[in-house]
Amino acid sequence: MIRVAIFISEVKEKGSDQTASDLSFYLAKEYQCFVLVDGQASADFSNGGELINIVTKNPLKKLYQLKQFKKENAIAATISFTIWPNLLNIFTRTNDKIIISVREPLPIGRFGIRKEIEHFLKKQYYKKVDLIVVPLHGIKQELIEEYHLKKEKVKVIYNPIDTEKIRTLAEEKIEKSYRDFFAHPVVVNVGELTREKGQRQLIKAFTKVKEEFPGAKLLLLGDGYLKEYLRQLVADLELENDVIFHTSNNPYKYLARATVAVFPSLYEDYPHELSEAMVCGVPVIATDCRGGHREFLAPDTLAGGPKEISGIEEAKYGTLIPVCEGGISNYVENLTEGEHIIAKSIIRVIKGKEAYQKRADRAAARMKAFSKVSIMEQWSELL
């Protein structure tokens, strides 16, 4: 039986761990699959292969162990995830096909000697791999330009989504205390409460929505370091009865019942929350920020490189709006132009609910292509 290896870091990273786990179960059906961990795998990491921990801290010994493993087991292909497993995979090539997965956009600027070393090594060695897999076209373009790679060497495979699980969870009943809440137009945001997610701008924009629809409600699903700041902002704007902060293991049941889901991020690594909202069939509004929102909502517009919009763009699968200004000071001043656009886009959806719902249904149908089986088939075709 052909032998393949998946190589990951012990440091848990959203997206890459889950993809590696799903891939190991899928490949184990057809290949003898090994899952190697640079360090010690966490107790909750599930996989479908034979798990092997490489726990030495000595870099030379680590390189030796990995190369010997590949030789002794006649590994035909090694797939690695994240920076250092990718580099170690390249350095220990034997007769195996080297496939690396780069999961995040390139950093803006350089930060310290470690980042400079990583950048130098990637520039020298990424061109030596057989294939680079990325989850977004934006990342593909960045890699090609930064590291002078051939286009055919970089392939886009989106992160898998457990669409069936999300749809099942979306059908769960909401708590009685929320039933009256959802009798009104409800705006939902899902994500960590951090500066880059843009909840500050959304809360301010919501004051304008309230002028048009006095009964409207805002539900912020998530937690984060900015929570108390945002609570104070809500109090200062006298919105305590209309804005709710909530955490839940099942955000999908709220998304499925919302009028609109809004993602006003300043930037993203990958649009996890947006993609899950699309699965739930709720109309979505998202900033046209770095990190994939355009790829999911307007995939037909990717040709020609990055776009810069100044107003509302009604895209094929949702609404795109400009990125708002950052910062968290002077938070009760008049709305900025960007916050006015957020409010205007929300008001549009509430007023045209039926038309926007038809587009949301198309978006939900599109997300079937992101199911685990569909995405894993794309990975398997690389071997």
Tokens of 147: 């590291």
Tokens of 194: 């951090």
Q: What are the pLDDT digits (tens) for 187-238?
A: 999 999 999 999 999 999 999 999 999 999 999 999 999 999 999 999 999 9
Q: What are the pLDDT digits (tens) for 363-373?
A: 999 999 999 99
Q: What is the CATH number of domain 3-157?
A: 3.40.50.2000
β strands within 260-341, DSSP E: 260-263, 284-287, 313-314, 319-321
Give exposure, 259-283, as e/b (b: 16+ Cβ within 10 Å). bbbbbbbbbbbbbbbbbbbbbbbbb
Rounded to the nearest 5 degrees, what angle is found at the Cα of 54, between the Cα atoms of 53 and 57?
135
Unique residue bearing structure tokens 């998304």: 255
| Rounded Cα gap, residues 349 and 341, in angstroms | 13
What confidence tier does 110 reach under pLDDT thresholds 50, 70, 90? low
What confidence tier does 312 reach under pLDDT thresholds 50, 70, 90? very high
CATH 3.40.50.300 holds for 163-370: no
What confidence tier does 332 reach under pLDDT thresholds 50, 70, 90? low
- 82 CB neighbour count, 10 Å cutoff: 22
Specify the pTM. 0.91
> In Å, how far are 2, 11, 15 from 46, measured between CA atoms?
22, 15, 14
* Segments of the chain assigned to CATH 3.40.50.2000: 3-157, 163-370
Residue 42 has what pLDDT? 81
> In Å, how far are 135, 165, 167, 277, 342 from 170, measured between CA atoms?
25, 9, 5, 10, 26
Cβ-contact 85, 9 below 8 angstroms: yes
Question: Could you tell me which residues are beta bridge partners of residue 4?
Answer: 33, 77
Residue 40 has what pLDDT? 87
Q: What are the pLDDT digits (tens) for 31-68?
A: 999 999 998 888 788 899 999 999 998 999 999 999 99
Q: Which of 205, 178, 214, 310 is nearest to 264 (CA)?
A: 205
Mean pLDDT across the stretch 109-131?
86
Query: How would you classify the pairing of strands 32-38 and 3-9?
Result: parallel
